[in-house]
Chain A
Amino acid sequence: MTAPAILHLDLDAFYASVEQRERPELRGRPVVVGGLGNRGVVAAASYEAREFGIRSAMPSVRARRACPDLVFVAPRMDLYAEVSRAVMAILRSATPLVEPLSLDEAFLDVRGAERLLGTGPEIGEMLRARIRSELGLAASVGVAVTKMLAKIASDSAKPDGMWVVEPGTELEFLHPLPVRRLWGVGPATQRRLANYGVETIGDLAALPEATLVRSLGEAAGRQLHALAWNRDPRPVDPHRATKSVGHEETFATDRCDRRALEQELTRMADLVAARLRAHMLVARTVQLKVRFPDFSTITRAQTLRSPTDLSAVIADAARTLLADVEVERGVRLLGVTALQFDGGGAVQEALPFDAPAVAPEQGALERTLDAVRERFGPDAVGRAAHTSDGRVRTDRRGSLWGPDEQAGE
């Protein structure tokens, strides 16, 4: 039987490992990359930190409590993106069929490369070795016949290992695993499945599909049943298109001033629009995300009259959505996402009536801003609405995982 040829490669503790590589004094120490403030969250934890039970998405305060010697590092996304590009370049040297899932993981289909480079497992070891020697980073690899199984296998391979699911042993490997290891099984689904006595993927596989469909709905029920039997027909898609471009921030203190929130939205819309233009995308839908102090979260979306890459249009839609949200009890997190992309970066311009919502010059203006920022840095120019104390405020680095500054009491 031929060797499996779908690979899932995942860099171990990526952000933290990059920081340890860049700063030798951090090596061997518990390091967390994430929001530094007391409302921040952990974006990545080094293996040393994980020994203290620290995981990503954990509030920074809890992480510090778990390990007083923890070293907090502010994220440097530009650096991680650069390292990620180098990783993806190594992967693409093996096959053009590379489907990046995020900065630090990707699927590969190496069937076409076997004659030149060896079997799937051999290519997996080769890629791991090259990433270690050329970039100084540890990667784990799962090798299997489906994407789903390869991803589960790479998780089992961590840290710094490789796990090959030999053909014929797929279900033997899969069925004893806890059901939460399956794609699409979150806490809610897990609770619902527990009602049927389902704990392992094997328990799930034993349930009739009809029962799952009744309990979870048509799509989810069918999908889980198929995955439990390792039926995952999705091919590795190197052109998998970006589905959304968004930006969200947790505030240092809960905000309840609508005007201030609107200003934040304008600023975030600016960032989202610039990224849309950079990727030559135009979005048809704008989504607003609001998290309240009790962590309850709502999203509201609006479809635009025509697709856009302009911050004025995105900000306008986001503010309209915010108008229907009760902010008086406070807002912990605010986010703006643009989605539903139309191809080609073609934008239907509007007729220039004398008082148009968006002047056609707006497009030219925003592209000029892009060019200025490209050349002189993100703080070089901004909107008057975002200035405070006569200074321009733009994206605060690392704000995705909470503000850096300590909240003033």
Chain B
Amino acid sequence: MKFRCERDTLAEAIGTAQRAVAVRSGALPVLSGVHVTAADGTVELVGCDLDLTIRVTIPAQVEEAGQAVVPAKLFDGLTTRLKAGTVTFEVEGEDARISAGPARAGVRLLPADEFPRVIEPEGTTVTVDAEPLAEALRQVIPAASRDDARPILTGILIMATPTGIRMVATDSYRLGVRDVEGVGMLSEGQKVLVGARGLNEVQRVFSSGQITVTLGEREVRFANESRSVTTRLIDGEFPNYEQLIPNGYPNKLTISRAELEEAVRLMQIVGEGREGTPVRLAMSSAGLELSATAQERADAVELIEAKFEGTDLTVAFNPQFLLDGLLAINGEEAVLESMDPLKPATLKGADQPEFLYLLMPVRIS
């Protein structure tokens, strides 16, 4: 196999494909590599960890067709540090030779015949706009769990609504709900649970244009002309979240999103390295007073102007969870609504009804 292409194009493609490469120990060794196929003026790079597959196709001058599996970390590191311009990639025996200008590098290949055949879903394919999908994913993904011990919560629930789709994610401490109008990727009444890690790649790879969505029995594939992300569906029943969303709250705080974000970051420093140090939010007609105390370490307090309707109340949150919510919502103003210090509170952007972030407080003795 031998091909030539632009360094920047190749480096970007490797960077994208390798995000699906298996990094955990104990995985099949060949999965730590990027699978490269050269044919007919294109080179395809594939990263795969059996749950998630990313393919990237780039234009190239192919002199000799073929395939190889190149250790991803080395491939990525070497390629990004080569001189800009044309890169030549050539397989010689058990090694790949990568050269650009005066620089040459060799990498021992992984056995290509051990690379698993990537299964692509079969089913109806629909075309949707990438941008609203990506923005919705950006908002809900932070609420999903990263704990593999609870597989269901590592997924995003995507369900059909009369006018589009709804996405829901939770790690059992917070919950993100996002309605997307007009992205008709599901048929009526349909709902699927898709791994948040894969969807995070979808959100990164497809930020504009149109993409196709193919929903199969066990996988879903998102693709455009040059890229595809395929991720496994998760089996199981998503928690019954609907009853958690209240119709109205007695206490409502309206505040500058940016100011609250800055203040929470300040409070977070106090508890750095001491996980579980909460930030207290004392709400009253005087505004919002944030405070945090880590005994024998540090403390901080800040008063921010805010509009408050309701009865004075103090609620404590995990600062990171609150911050995740503030970064997920849109708009200049944030609206924090709560019932009491032990019931879930909601965070929304003012006049942004399509996204809701529900957050469970921290109980302080």
Residues of A within 8 A of B (CB): 239, 280, 282, 284, 305-307, 342-356, 360, 363
Whole-angstrom CA separation of A280 from B344 in the bound complex: 23
User: B residues within 8 A CB of A342?
Assistant: 274-277
13 contacts between A and B (CB under 8 A): A342-B274, A343-B294, A344-B295, A344-B365, A346-B365, A347-B276, A348-B173, A349-B173, A349-B360, A351-B170, A351-B244, A353-B244, A354-B243
CB distance from A202 to the nearest CB of B (A): 40
Known contacts being A344-B295, A344-B364, A346-B362, is A352 close to B244, with CB within 8 Å? Answer: yes
Most buried by A among B244, B276, B344, B362: B276
Distance in angstroms between the alpha carbons of A353 and B170 in the assembled complex: 11
Q: CB within 8 A of B276: which of A239, A344, A360?
A: A344
Q: Is there contact, CB below 8 Å, between B172 and A239?
A: no
Docked Cα-Cα span, A306 to B172, in Å, equals: 11
Is B364 a contact partner of A349 (Cβ separation < 8 A)? Answer: no
Nearest A residue to B170 via CB reads: A351
Highest count of chain B CB atoms <10 Å: which of A306, A344, A353, A354 = A344
Interface string of B89-103 (1 = CB under 8 A from A): 000000000000000
Nearest B residue to A305, CB-CB: B147
The one of A347, A351, A355 in contact with B362, judged by C-beta atoms closer than 8 angstroms, is: A347
Q: Is A351 within 8 A of B276, CB to CB?
A: no
Q: Pick from A239, A353, A363 the residue with the most CB of B within 10 Å.
A: A353
Contact indicator B342/A349 (Cβ below 8 Å): yes
- Is there a chain A Cβ closer than 8 Å to B278's Cβ? yes
Chain B residues, CB < 8 A from A307: 275-276
With A342-B275, A346-B316 as known contacts, state yes or no: A351 contacts B294, CB within 8 Å: no
B276 x A346 contact (CB < 8 A): yes
Q: Do residues B365 and A351 form an inter-chain contact, with CB atoms below 8 A?
A: no
Are the CB atoms of A348 and B244 closer together than 8 Å?
A: no
The answer on a CB contact under 8 Å between A351 and B172 is yes
Top 4 A-B pairs, shortest CB-CB distance: A342-B276, A345-B365, A353-B239, A354-B240
Q: Which of B150, B170, B276, B318 contacts A343 (CB 8 A)?
A: B276
Q: A351-B344, A353-B239, A353-B241 are in contact. Are A343 and B360 (CB under 8 A)?
A: no
- Cα A352 to Cα B343 in complex, Å, equals 9
Quick check: A343 and B173 within 8 Å, CB to CB?
A: no
Select one of B276, B295, B363 contacting A349, CB under 8 A.
B363
User: A305 vs B275: C-alpha distance in the bound complex, in angstroms?
Assistant: 12
CB atoms of B358 and A351 under 8 A apart: yes
Is B225 among interface residues, defined by CB-CB distance under 8 A? no
Instruction: Tell me which residues from 157 to 172 in chain B have a Cβ below 8 Å from any Cβ of chain A.
Output: 170, 172
Given the interface pairs A348-B318, A349-B362, A351-B172, the reply to whether A282 lies near B240 with Cβ below 8 Å is no
CB-defined contacts of B240 to chain A, threshold 8 Å: 353-355
Interface centre among A284, A307, A346 (most CB of B within 10 A): A346
Tell me the bound Cα distance from A270 to B5 in angstroms: 66
Partner of B277, one of A284, A306, A344: A344
Q: In the complex the two chains form, is A363's CB within 8 Å of B296's CB?
A: no
Check: B48 CB closer than 8 A to any chain A CB. Answer: no
Whether B360 pairs with A351 at a CB distance below 8 angstroms is yes
Minimum CB–CB distance for A360 against chain B, Å: 7
Give 15 A-B pairs besides A342-B276, A344-B364, A351-B170 with Cβ atoms closer than 8 angstroms: A280-B365, A305-B172, A306-B276, A344-B277, A344-B293, A348-B173, A348-B318, A348-B321, A348-B363, A349-B361, A351-B172, A351-B344, A351-B360, A353-B172, A353-B240
Residues of A within 8 A of B239 (CB): 351, 353-355
Report the bound CA distance from A343 to B275 in whole Å. Answer: 8
B277 touches A347 (CB 8 A): no
- Residue of B at shortest CB range from A342? B276
- State the Cβ distance, B168 to closest chain A Cβ, in Å: 12
Q: Which of B309-334 contact A (CB under 8 A)?
A: 316, 318, 321
Chain A residues closer than 8 Å to B233, beta-carbon distance: none
For B171-185 the 0/1 string (1 means CB < 8 A from A) is 011110000000000
Q: How far is the CA of A350 from the CA of B342 in the complex (A)?
A: 10
CB distance from B299 to the nearest CB of A (A): 12
Question: In whole Å, how far is A363's beta carbon from the nearest beta carbon of chain B?
Answer: 7
- Chain A residues with Cβ below 8 Å from B344 are 351-352
* Chain B residues with CB below 8 A from A280, complex form: 365
Contact A346 B363 (CB under 8 A): yes
Asked if B172 contacts A343 (CB within 8 A), the reply is no
Cβ of B147: which chain A residues have Cβ within 8 Å of it? 305
Most chain B CB within a 10 A radius of its CB, from A306, A343, A351: A351
Specify which chain B residues have a CB less than 8 angstroms from the CB of A344 in the assembled complex.
276-278, 293-295, 364-365
* In the bound complex, CA of A287 to CA of B147 (Å): 20
CB A120 to nearest CB in B, in angstroms, measures 27
With contact pairs A305-B147, A351-B175, A353-B172 given, residues A345 and B277 touching in the complex (Cβ less than 8 Å): no
Among A284, A307, A342, residue most surrounded by chain B Cβ atoms (within 10 Å): A342
Would A360 and B365 be within 8 Å (CB), given that A342-B274, A342-B276 are in contact?
Answer: no
Would you call A350 and B173 a contact (CB within 8 A)?
A: yes
Give bound CA distance, A284 to B362, whole Å.
15
Measured between beta carbons, the chain A residues less than 8 angstroms from B364 are 344-346
Cα–Cα distance between A307 and B276 once the two chains are bound (Å): 8
Q: How far is the CB of A12 from chain B (nearest CB, A)?
A: 35
Chain B residues whose CB sits within 8 angstroms of the CB of A356 once the complex forms: 172
A348 lies within 8 A of B342 (CB): no
Taking a contact as CB atoms under 8 Å apart, the answer to whether B274 and A360 are in contact is: no
CB distance from A320 to the nearest CB of B (A): 10
What is the bound-complex CA distance between A345 and B277, given in angstroms? 9
Given that A348-B173, A348-B276 are known contacts, is A360 also in contact with B244, CB under 8 Å in the complex? no
Across the interface, which residues of B come within 8 angstroms of A355, CB to CB?
239-240
B173/A346 in contact, CB under 8 A: no
Q: How far, in angstroms, from A360 to B361 measured CA to CA in the complex?
A: 11
Q: Which residues on the A side are within 8 Å of B276 (C-beta)? A: 282, 306-307, 342-344, 346-348
Q: How far is the CA of A305 from the CA of B274 in the complex (A)?
A: 15
Within 8 A of A (CB), among B226-279: 239-241, 243-244, 274-278
Taken together as a complex, chains A and B put the C-alpha atoms of A346 and B149 apart, in Å, by: 24
Cα–Cα, bound, A348→B362 (Å): 4
Contacts of B149 in A (CB 8 A): 305
Q: A329 to B363, alpha carbons, bound, how many Å?
A: 43
Query: Could you tell me the distance in whole angstroms from the C-beta of A354 to the nearest C-beta in chain B?
Result: 5
Q: In the complex, are the beta carbons of A350 and B274 less than 8 A apart? A: no
Please report the C-alpha to C-alpha distance between residue A346 and residue B364 in the assembled complex, in whole angstroms. Answer: 5
CB-based nearest A residue for B361: A349
